[in-house]
Amino acid sequence: FALTADAALMTLGGSLKRKERLSAMLGDLLSNLYIASACLKRYIEEGERQDDLPLMRWALDDSLYRFQHALRGLLRNMPFRPLAWLLRLVVFPTGLPFHKPTDSLDHQVARTLLSPSEARDRLTQGIYITEDQQQRAGQLEQALFAVNAAAPHEKTLRRAKRAGQLKSRDIRNLIAEAVSLGILNESEKVTLEEADRLRRQVIQVNTFSHLGSLTSESSKAASKISKLNKRGAA
CATH number for 2-118 (one of 3.40.50, 1.20.140, 1.10.10, 1.10.3470): it is: 1.20.140
Domain range list for the chain:
2-118, 136-203
pLDDT tens for the chain, 234 residues long, are 676 776 666 666 666 666 667 777 777 888 988 999 999 999 999 889 988 899 999 999 999 999 888 888 778 877 777 777 777 777 777 878 888 999 999 999 988 888 888 888 888 888 887 777 778 878 888 888 888 888 889 899 889 888 888 888 888 888 888 888 888 888 988 999 898 888 888 887 766 555 555 455 555 655 666 666 656 555
Torsion of CA 76, 79, 85, 88, to 10 degrees: -50
Q: How far lies 117's CA from each of 38, 77, 160, 204, in Å?
A: 22, 45, 29, 27
The neighbour count for residue 58, using CB atoms within 10 Å, is: 20
Helix residue ranges, H only, the chain: 2-12, 20-45, 53-77, 81-91, 103-113, 118-123, 136-162, 171-180, 186-203, 211-233
Instruction: Please tell me the pTM assigned to this model.
Output: 0.65
